[in-house]
Amino acid sequence: MKKKKSYSTVKRIVLAAAKYKKYAVIGIICAFISVGLTLLGPVLTGNAIDCIIDNGQVDFETISKILIGFMLTTAGSALFQWIMGLCTNKLSYCAARDLRQQVYSKFNSVPLSYIDGSSHGDLINRVINDVDAVGDGLLQSVTKLFTGVVTIVATLVFMFAINVTIALAVMLLTPVSLFVAAFIGKFSGSKFRKQQLLQGEVSAYIEEMVGNQQIVKSFAYEKRAEQEFERKNQELYKVGQKAQFAGSLANPSTRFVNGLVYAAAGILGALSAVNGGLTVGQISVFLTYANQYTKPFNEITGVLTQLQTAIASAKRVFEVLDEPNETADKENAVTIERADGNMVFENVNFSYRENQKLIENFNLKVKKGQRIAIVGPTGCGKTTMINLIMRFYDVNSGEIRLDSVPIKDIKRNSLRQNFAMVLQDSWLFNGTVRENLCYGNPDATEEEMIKAAKSAYAHGFISRLPKGYDTVITEEGSNLSQGEKQLLCIARAMLTDSPLLILDEATSSIDTLTEQRVQKAFAKMMEGKTSFVVAHRLSTIKEADVILVMKDGNIIEQGRHEDLLKKAGFYSTLYNSQFS
């Protein structure tokens, strides 16, 4: 089974490179010419030796001609070898580039559940390090494996042309070298697969610790983080050492076998020369060919280490590519340019795990322009509702409709473009303030952008930045405060001017004074738009048209703020707990 999987992986690597087969064809032709010229060199050398008959009997004229021919063949071999290297490099790097692009594109097409359920560091490792390993292995296999095979076959042809007996002796010793190489390759393969797995774990751990340094330092976790990293790193070191040791056995083992081949050619050649079957020059040619014949075996077995790494890495890459995509849009799925904002939730049931129920029999009607607040204890399903509305996850049963159209019948991009969203986690990317603000509306004018920034109370601090709206924000906005980052996210949502809004704790990192101002901006922005507001601070959703009180995935209360307080139910308990 493992052999079939490895064969299938190699086949897929070859198919990934098939797009650039013209480089492979040119490389093959150049390899044939280069090997042919290389093998012609020993013949010329042997002829030159035979021109030295005895002391004072040297045919300088013939040697001079041979010397010129030798220089031309050497130069020609080097030239075609350089062209071959150029082509194989192009083949390898282009294939790796395409493979990396495929993996990155796959991240955008798999269900969100796959990204949520995978280590982000490991996914990053697959798209960078693993693809690099596949590219390097592909390059090695094309250059050394193919050139080696051509050299072996061509050398045998030349040797048989000179002396059949010695050539047969050399060929009969070849299976020993192949057996040793195959045995070591099988032994080292499992080691390299484990090494790649541990590399992914180490990358994931580094990504977690580096990306959350504030938490690490605030809990004084540095020492323990170093100890855990040392443990993982030491485990990787041990496995890597075993893998490299297993791979390093290949070269010396085959060199020993190759030494036997060389010795056999020398002994049989000498005996043949004594009997007059070979000249001294021909013995020289045979010894050179014996060495050139065995050299590819050394190179092939020497590159097995890298090939094993490449195959192990390719399996990890193809695991990502083989993940099922999220459910495709229906063929007759509709596009809604700008929704009115009426939504209906009818008998909606959803759970992340089959054995763990979350939302059951959820029903709700939302009219255009209403503000719907969703409140409840942690884990009750508030954010899950947002995931279902945006179709990050699909409901298990029941139906959600937008403007009387089931959202499953609406193209995902069309659905999501009708929503502006501000999450509790403020996400910004490495780029200018301008680029971040216009992320959801790249066609926005300068005036529209500044107006949105002013509405979100972000214009003031943006103007104080070194280059204003052209200031480059570092990754995750680390040169801004948490509150400033959230204001930028709010301004970005305002700039989209979408008919529906989702605010998931959108003001959690803003001071009270600024929050009051932003709430006024939100109120203005929400006029005539359907809004879903997830809130923990219940004081921020007093003006909501409908407040949904959720518990254990069910709506247990709903109504306006004042009405819910009068009921003295669960909402009243939640609200009053803020002042306890």
In the chain, % of residues over pLDDT 70? 88
3-state secondary structure of 319: helix
Q: Among residues 517, 481, 484, 523, which one has the least CA distance to residue 503?
A: 523
The predicted model scores a pTM of: 0.66
The mean pLDDT of 187-216, rounded to a whole number, is 76
Q: Does the structure show a pLDDT above 60 at 180?
A: yes
Q: How far apart are CA 412 and CA 423, in angstroms?
A: 19
Q: How far apart are CA 181 and CA 254, in angstroms?
A: 7
pLDDT at 476: 58
Q: Does the structure show a pLDDT above 60 at 1?
A: no
More confident residue, 139 or 307: 307
The mean pLDDT of 164-177, rounded to a whole number, is 76
Q: Does the structure show a pLDDT above 80 at 109?
A: yes
Q: Does the structure show a pLDDT above 90 at 575?
A: no
Q: Does the structure show a pLDDT above 90 at 362?
A: no
Q: Which residues contact 251 (CB under 8 A, 6 or more apart)?
A: 298, 301, 302
Lowest mean pLDDT among 10-24, 387-401, 454-468: 10-24
CATH number belonging to domain 2-321: 1.20.1560.10
Q: How sure is the predictor about 401, in pLDDT bands with cuts at 50, 70 and 90?
A: very high
In which element (H, E) is residue 76 found? helix 60-109
The mean pLDDT of 482-497, rounded to a whole number, is 84
pLDDT at 298: 64
What are the pLDDT digits (tens) for 39-55? 888 777 777 777 776 66
pLDDT at 450: 92
What are the pLDDT digits (tens) for 247-301? 777 667 777 777 777 777 777 777 777 777 777 777 777 777 777 777 777 666 6
Q: How sure is the predictor about 135, in pLDDT bands with cuts at 50, 70 and 90?
A: confident
Burial of 386 (0-12, 13-18, 19+ CB in 10 A): buried
pLDDT at 434: 92
Domain ranges across the chain: 2-321
The mean pLDDT of 422-427, rounded to a whole number, is 78
Q: Among residues 396, 326, 323, 322, which one has the least CA distance to residue 111?
A: 326
pLDDT at 226: 85
